[in-house]
Structure formats: C-alpha cells, structure tokens
Structure 1
Amino acid sequence: MDKGNGLPGRQGGSQAHWGAAGQRPDGDADSRPGHDPYGTPPYGQPGPWAPAPPVQRPNPTPPAGTFVPPPGATTPPAGTGLPPGAFPPPPVASTTGTTALPGAQPAGRYDPWAVSHAMPPAPGAPAGPEPEPAGRRPVRLVAAAALIALLAGILGGTVGIYLERNGAFSDVRLPQTRAESNPPAEGSIAGIADAVLPAVVTLHVSGGGAAGTGTGFVLDDTGHILTNAHVVRPAGANGVIEVTFGSGDTARAEVVGQDSGYDLAVVRVTGVSGLTPVELGDSDAVRVGDPVVAIGAPFDLEGTVTSGIISATERPITAGGEEVDGSDISYVNALQTDAPINPGNSGGPLVDVNGRVIGVNSAIRTGDSGGLEGGAQGGSVGLGFAIPINQAKDVAEQLINTGRATHPVIGVTLDTGYLGDGARVGSSTGDPAVVPGGPADQAGVEDGDVITAVDGDRVRSGDELIVKIRSHRPGDELTLTVERGGENLELVVTLGESAGE
C-alpha cells in the first residue's frame, strides 16, 4: 500500500524521507527507480486528471543548527525563540495496530510535512469523492446484504421447484418398513391359503367343439381329484382334461366317474408323485356366520383366494338343466356363502378357518339371468352355493369304488304343473304316481297327496322335496308331513336307492 501520497481523500502517512534509488526509509524497496511519489497515479501511467505542476517540497532534513524537538514534545524549550504550540502534534499510534486516524503519524516517526503539505488536485481535475458520513455506510451494507439474500432465496426456491417437478432428483429414497419373515398365523386367511393351495388344481377341458376351465382338489396321494360334473362334461368320451398344479406342473387326467344329479365328478392323474391331499371337514357342524375361504381359478386366474362367511345352510337349489331332457339338473341342499365365486371357481374347495374343506363350490346366482347356474358366465353378486362336503364325500367314494353313485328315492312321481305350496304326488302320463311296492307305497302315500314337510322342514315345491331327499342316504328314515283331504298326516318312509346318471 502506498502511504500518504498526498492526494485528497487518501490517508496520510510517512512520505517525507526517501533514500537514493527509490529506497523507502522504512526499508521497503520501490521497484521503480526515479519514481516520484507525487506524480500522476498510478505511477507513470495516464490518470483521470493532468499531472500537477512541480512542487518544491522543503528538504525534510533540517539544516545544520536547526532545532529538532524530541519525540513527544509539544512546547518549545526556552531559548529557542519559538512560540508555544509551534510544534506539530505528536504522532498517534493505532490501538489495533492496523488503522491510524486521518493525519496521524506512524508510531516512532515524525514528518512535519506529511499533513501540512498535501498536494491539491490538478487544475480542472474532478474532486475526489466526498467522505460519507460514518453512520450511513453500515445501514447501506445491511440493506444490500438483505436484498442479495432475498434474491438468492427466491432464485434458489424457483430452481428447486423446477428441478423437483422435472424429475431432476433421481436419487430420492423413500423410507420403507421391512416386513418380518414370520409364517402366517394359524387360522388367518393367509395361513389357510398357505395350507390349502398346494392341494388345489386347475382343469382345462376340451372336446366335441367345447372347452372350459374349472377347479378341483386332491383327495388322496394316488391322484384322485374331486370337481364338478359340469366342469368335465365338455370332454365327453374322447376329450382332453389337462390338470395344472400349484407348482406349475401339468398332467393328463381321466374321468373315474361322474353324477350330474349331484353335479360331482372324480378324475385321476397318474405318474405324479408328491401330491398333497386336502383335509375334509364336517359340513353338518357348519353354522351361519362362520368365516370361510374359497379357492379356485375364476376366469382362468388360477390360485385365486377369496373370503366371506356362511350366509345360510341347507339352502335347496337346482342348477344345470342345459340338456333338453333335463338329465343334467343337479339338486343340492347347499351351503350359501358371500365369498366371491365366479366362473372357473366351480369344483374348488370352500374351506373353514381350520383349513378343512366343508363344501364344493358349484353354482352362483347371477344378476343378469336371475337364476342359478353351474359355471354361469355372469360375475359374483355375493350369492354362491357349495355342495356340503359330507354329501360330496359319499358320492366321491361311490364314484371311486364303482364308477357311479346311487340316489335315495321314495318312489313317487310329482305333478310339475302344481303351483300351490308343497309337492303334489301325481302323474300326467297315466302311469301310477306311486311306484307299487316302493318306499312311499309302503309308508301309505297316495296319489294326490301334497307333501308339505320333511322331518319338520317346510317344503315349498317339488324341487325342494327332491333336494331334501337327496341330502340323505339310501336306507335313512324320514318323516313326511302329508296333506290329504284337509288333514295333515305324518308318514315314516325308508329311503330306497336308484342308479345315478
């Protein structure tokens, strides 16, 4: 820093004593020989104003015999002839070591010409900047800093929003809770599905220009699989039934036996090992409100699990009837559930909370048809029906052992045109309405009798009477409530049997 160049607005300093060849008295070498500290700034370069005329500066070295006051003296001693106060003020040292007051001399030095001989600006040169009041500069600095901070905040926020909206932050990591690898709780839907799914299979059936998809479940380790009769019906005598297991493996299956009256069939796969059979439960112990799980392949979506409750028990339904002669009509005293069942669920298991099969999903009531259909193409409306497993077990055993199942019968013909309450015994063909020597004949049932209840359960139609009878086995005894000539009679009948279809 050039000290005390004598220009207006510059801080004064010691400039008086210059040695030869541009050497400053404080020992700092000036690299510009012959440099005039009072020339045009910067040294030797064109400046904003013309150089000042030469100034004859007094010789800073006092002539011989001239009194030089000692450092710090302010009053001339007696005999000097100098008036009081003739000495310049003593140098003022900075308290910080870095800043001196205007006009102050460096500590330990005294230059009587440094302050009193400051050079004026050259003629016509602009005056230097006017000193700013001391109290104004901090205020302006604070305001400028606040403005800069505000602009930086607005700019930063705008840039941040733009980058965020345009996906610039590609390394975002969101917090996530890792699930524990514990097995599903017993009795939970996940636990039931985990236990039963390995035993559930999907059947793809084709033949005779028809094809369909259904579900089944493994009964034993020899390869027997239970499903619905309407699922395997498209195969006919020469069709193909392909079974897909939960593992993804496939195998061909053959029909062991089927019965359209119960809408049940058994198929068998061979050459397959490691089969996982289901556990059969007791459908007679099922109560309304019990939670259940349905497993199947609705719309060919294999391994689908849905849940609900038992909505009703012993719900008499008939399904099928697609054949002209009605030989495919099934009569089921069904379990009703609101677990979603859709086309493709047919033949799949309805399971209780213990993972035991209590029914075979067979029919749904559809919103478009208003009727009950096995394998209907409509969607679930919360009205699904399953064949109770106790009945299905009996039929499956007969199909496996003999290839066909027997039906319990009472030996009567019912009047299908009767529109009243109950089932009226009667024939429109001229044949006897009561089979001579049959169970009903032996129990005392006569032509024209109206059967209104079975074992105390009300009968509303002929179909309901058939359903209630088929929910039993041949040889079972039933009490029929019969209305004859305005009187109610109770007749005990022992069920006979007939070959199934």
Structure 2
Amino acid sequence: MSTENEGAAVPSAAGPRTESPTSPQVPPVPPEAPAVGPSLDKAPAQTPADTAGQAGNVPPQDPAQHQAQQPPAQPAGPQPPNPGWYGAPPAATGGGAGGVPPYAGGGPWGVPPMAPPPRRKGVGGLVAAVVAAALIAGGVGGGVGYWAAERSGESSTTISSSADPKTESRVPGSVADIANKALPSVVTIEAQSGNGEGGTGTGFVYDKQGHILTNNHVVASAAESGKLSVTFSDGKQYAAEVVGRAQGYDVAVIKLRDPAGAKLNPLPLGDSGKVAVGDATVAIGAPFGLSGTVTTGIVSAKKRPVASSDGGGGGQASYMSALQTDASINPGNSGGPLLNAQGAVIGVNSAIQSAGNGGGFGGQGQAGSIGLGFAIPINQAKRVAEQLIRDRTPIYPVIGAVVNMKDAANGAVIAPSGTNGAPSVTAGGPADKAGLKPGDVITKLDDTLIDSGPTLISEIWTHRPGDKVTLTYTRDGKQTTTDIVLGERRGDN
C-alpha cells in the first residue's frame, strides 16, 4: 500500500506511543519505521507498515543511615540568595525557550548526587519498592541511632534546627515553581472504546473555552463511539468529546462537554523554533497511570525525524520533526506538555525509543524510558490545533509524489509507481510542475538533508500548503535543484 508523504531533518528514530493502557498488557505496537540517519544507528529501527508513501499524505507506541548533623557555621554578613534552577539566578518569566547557565556542582537541579535506586518492576512493583525502601531506611536509621546513643551514654544523637524560610519558599523559575503553576492545567485523559478497551494519556488546557490539546493516539480508540473523561489535578472529572484529530500529525483537540466549574487556565505557549540543544525541560504527565508526575531533563536534539505507529490499530503512522529530550517519558505521558525553563510549552510529548523493542517492566511488555523521548514542536502542534478547532479537519502539505517509505538510503526515492499501479508523480501536481520523475532521489529540502521517505514527510509537514521550498535531487548521477510550491490534502483518508 502506498501513500503520499513529506519529510523531516536529520536522522530519524521510531518509537512506540506513550499512552498508558488500563489493562495489564499493552497491545503490540504496529510495525515500526526505519531509523533514518546516523545518529540513531545504535537504536532499534522501526518500520511503517507501508513501503511507499505519497509525499504529504498519511500512509493508508544498603538502606541509608539518616542521622542529622550540626549545620556548618555561616560567615557573618549578608548571605547570597538561594540559588535557582541549576544554581542559576531565577529565570525570567515569559514564553519562548531560554538557555540555562552551566551547572556548577552538586546533583541536577541543585540536589546533591544520590545512588541510583534499584530497577523497578512494573507499576505494582514501583509502588511497592518505593514504600518498602522508605520503611527499611527508616527502620535502619532508627536502630543505628539508638545503638549510637547507648554507646555514648546520651539520650539522642539527633540535633534539631529551626526552619529556614529561604529554603521553604520556592525560588521563582525553579522546577518546583514551574510544576506548581503548570500542574492545575495538566489533565489525565481516560479513553474507552465501544468494546470497553481503553488507556490513559495526558493533555493540557489550550484555551478558556475548554479545549484540551493532546495526541491523536491517546483519544483514537474513543473517537467514534467510545467515552472520554478528563481529570484535573484537584480530582474533578469531566466528560469530554473529540473536536478534531489529525492522525498524520498525531495531534488531537478535545473539549469538555460541560466546562462549568472547571479551572481553565491555558498553559503559555513558547516558540519551539527558538529552542536550543541543552535547554532545560520539564515534562508532566501520567506515566503508567501515575497522574501529576513531573520529570526534568534537557533538549537533547532538534528536528529529529520520527515515524511512529498510530494507536488506532490501523497500522498507519504519524511523522514529526521532533524535539528530543532525556526527561523521563513513559506510557501515559503521551499528549502532555514539554515545558522550558520559563514554564512555557515547547512540545507535546508523543513517542519514546525503547531498548530491545520494548518490554523490561515486570514482563508486561510495556516500553520504558531510556532517555530518548520525542515531542511534537509546539509551533506545529498549535497550527494543527487551530485548524482542527476551526473546521475539525486536518490539512497536509503535499508534493504530489509517491516516495519509498521502507529503504533508508541516501535520500527519498520517488517510487516507480503509486497505489494500484497509478502514476507515482501526480499529473499537474507540484512535483510534476517542478520536473520530478520516478527514480529521482530527493536529498535536501531547503537546508535540511533528506536521507529517507519518512524524513522527507516529517520535514514537509513542518510547512503549510502554498509554501515554496527548494528541493535538491539526483537523477542519473547528476544533482539538480528546483523550487516547488507545496499543494494540500484535506483529511486523513
């Protein structure tokens, strides 16, 4: 089966979706797309079900001893202010991405380094392990303290100190400050299909009319005849309905059926085009159903081409020129916000790359975070969301040519023929007008290198219909450059 697609920049990675199932087992992820490019050459590749795609169209987941000590004496005179995020002064507020000064000493986010906890084994194992560790540590700490008191002849080895109001208040711009402001606007989404199956994902308040932005694969199972519910951080739950969804972009907008009483404070949107590698990130979601979970990291890469399978079960794929982050993202984080150091949304968390093609969580077959998470840039997600709110139908830019979606070569190869023997280059379409022919290998779109069909799709989909782009292609060993005006296709079918 073949369809029309467009590409993205740099190497690609494919990852399973990150919605969290309500049942013990996660359905197997549809066939994965090939990793595109050298930077992910050590990661498992994923391949979409289709072998060809029409550019721009969607193809038819030892316990610690705690003993208080006397705090060190402080020098006389005024004391420096409490350090901010990464030991930096408080971050300025406002939208857009912001760099963070280099980290100087201690652990991440100004926390002293700690030994890593033991590996968790599934959701049940996770909760049990945390509770058990806390009880064991408390028991050992108390026992050792009593033993030391008996040896020294004193009644206690614990030293009390008065509270420091500076440490009790959270510095503006700190992770705690960002989380405190954002959590009331992040929701947990429960999607249930007509046959009772469903899963858990995340979304966030988009506007005061009750629109929630999330991933298509989070709500796909309930889009036709199922049920959607949205739960806020205060525990209040609301019924919701799908306003519109774009399978190819993996973006969906839902709306509360009756928003009366809901605290609708839209999250501020940043500018994903200004994000820099190394910028601090905060991810919020419901990994494995644990609502309101906050994790931190950095932007590890930009414009990462990702092709990941759709949650609707149709074997189709979505494509993104993604922001890559090492903030911990797991099943259930899908649709949640990726925030910058100013608390503005720079991406919508959508997919993860997993070692060994998933598994590793108590044998449940669920993929877990290995520090390779991917988010849809908010500039693109916002454009798609506005389109869905306006007329409920997604619009995709196209070049009017079928490209090979399976082989990762030195570019995107225009296929010999299209679906059911149809021409691979649409007569009178953008590619035809630009002089492209079957067998041409597209190697660059503007300044972005193209190394495969999925890369071409994800990059073209960062544009709008009517945009003029420059394509570089090779034919019979000769390189040629041509301008092309992108066409459009409405809907996912």
1:408 to partner: Cα distance: 0.6
Aligned with residue 435 of structure 2, among 440, 444, 448: 444
Distance 1:350 1:492, change over 3 A: same
1:165 to partner: Cα distance: 6.8
The answer for the alignment partner of 1:331 in structure 2 is 319
CA contact (8 A) 2:220 2:312 kept: no
The answer for the alignment partner of 2:309 in structure 1 is 320
The answer for the alignment partner of 1:140 in structure 2 is none
Distance 1:342 1:416, change over 3 A: closer
The answer for the alignment partner of 2:385 in structure 1 is 396
Relative to the length of structure 2, the TM-score reads: 0.64
Aligned with residue 189 of structure 1, among 161, 169, 175: 175
Relative to the length of structure 1, the TM-score reads: 0.63
CA contact (8 A) 2:213 2:254 kept: yes
SS of the residue corresponding to residue 401 of structure 2 reads: coil
Partner Cα separation in structure 1 for residue 290 and residue 162 of structure 2? 30
Partner Cα separation in structure 2 for residue 225 and residue 460 of structure 1? 35
The answer for the alignment partner of 1:462 in structure 2 is 453
Partner Cα separation in structure 2 for residue 164 and residue 450 of structure 1? 78
CA contact (8 A) 2:244 2:254 kept: yes
The answer for the alignment partner of 1:356 in structure 2 is 344
Partner Cα separation in structure 2 for residue 305 and residue 357 of structure 1? 14
5+ residue gaps, structure 1, are: 1-160
Matched letter for residue 481 of structure 2: E
Matches within 5 A, 1:212-227: 212-227=199-214
The answer for the alignment partner of 2:293 in structure 1 is 304
Task: Determine what percentage of the aligned residue pairs are the same residue.
Answer: 50
Partner Cα separation in structure 1 for residue 233 and residue 447 of structure 2? 45
Distance 1:368 1:177, change over 3 A: farther
Partner Cα separation in structure 2 for residue 321 and residue 239 of structure 1? 17
Distance 1:200 1:323, change over 3 A: closer
Matches within 5 A, 1:225-264: 225-264=212-251
CA contact (8 A) 1:192 1:355 kept: yes
Greater Cα shift, 353-362 or 442-451: 442-451
Is 2:444 the counterpart of 1:453? yes
Partner Cα separation in structure 1 for residue 247 and residue 149 of structure 2? 65
Is 2:489 the counterpart of 1:498? yes
Deviation digits for residues 255-284 of structure 1, max 9, x if unmatched? 111111011111111233331111001000
1:174 to partner: Cα distance: 4.8
CA contact (8 A) 1:410 1:439 kept: yes
Matched letter for residue 337 of structure 1: T
The answer for the alignment partner of 2:160 in structure 1 is 175
CA contact (8 A) 1:257 1:266 kept: yes
Distance 1:202 1:401, change over 3 A: same
Aligned length: 335
Partner Cα separation in structure 1 for residue 248 and residue 224 of structure 2? 19
1:179 to partner: Cα distance: 4.3
The answer for the alignment partner of 2:357 in structure 1 is 369
Is 2:190 the counterpart of 1:199? no
Partner Cα separation in structure 1 for residue 463 and residue 210 of structure 2? 28
Deviation digits for residues 21-61 of structure 1, max 9, x if unmatched? xxxxxxxxxxxxxxxxxxxxxxxxxxxxxxxxxxxxxxxxx
CA contact (8 A) 2:405 2:452 kept: no
Rg larger in structure: 1
CA contact (8 A) 1:261 1:500 kept: no
1:415 to partner: Cα distance: 3.0
Deviation digits for residues 219-245 of structure 1, max 9, x if unmatched? 111100001111111214221111111
Distance 1:336 1:416, change over 3 A: closer
1:324 to partner: Cα distance: 6.8
1:424 to partner: Cα distance: 1.0
Partner Cα separation in structure 2 for residue 163 and residue 351 of structure 1? 47
Deviation digits for residues 92-131 of structure 1, max 9, x if unmatched? xxxxxxxxxxxxxxxxxxxxxxxxxxxxxxxxxxxxxxxx
CA contact (8 A) 1:456 1:481 kept: no
1:164 to partner: Cα distance: 6.4
CA contact (8 A) 1:313 1:334 kept: yes
The answer for the alignment partner of 1:386 in structure 2 is 375
Partner Cα separation in structure 1 for residue 371 and residue 148 of structure 2? 50
State the Cα RMSD in Å.
2.5
Partner Cα separation in structure 1 for residue 429 and residue 464 of structure 2? 16
Aligned with residue 489 of structure 1, among 458, 473, 480: 480
1:418 to partner: Cα distance: 4.7
SS of the residue corresponding to residue 185 of structure 1 reads: coil
Distance 1:186 1:433, change over 3 A: same
The answer for the alignment partner of 2:101 in structure 1 is none
The answer for the alignment partner of 1:64 in structure 2 is none
1:323 to partner: Cα distance: 6.1
Partner Cα separation in structure 2 for residue 163 and residue 472 of structure 1? 68
Partner Cα separation in structure 1 for residue 147 and residue 367 of structure 2? 50
Deviation digits for residues 182-218 of structure 1, max 9, x if unmatched? 6422221111111211110111111223110010000
5+ residue gaps, structure 2, are: 1-145, 360-364
Distance 1:223 1:489, change over 3 A: same
Partner Cα separation in structure 1 for residue 453 and residue 353 of structure 2? 20
Higher relative contact order (CA 8 A, sep 6+): 2
SS of the residue corresponding to residue 280 of structure 1 reads: coil
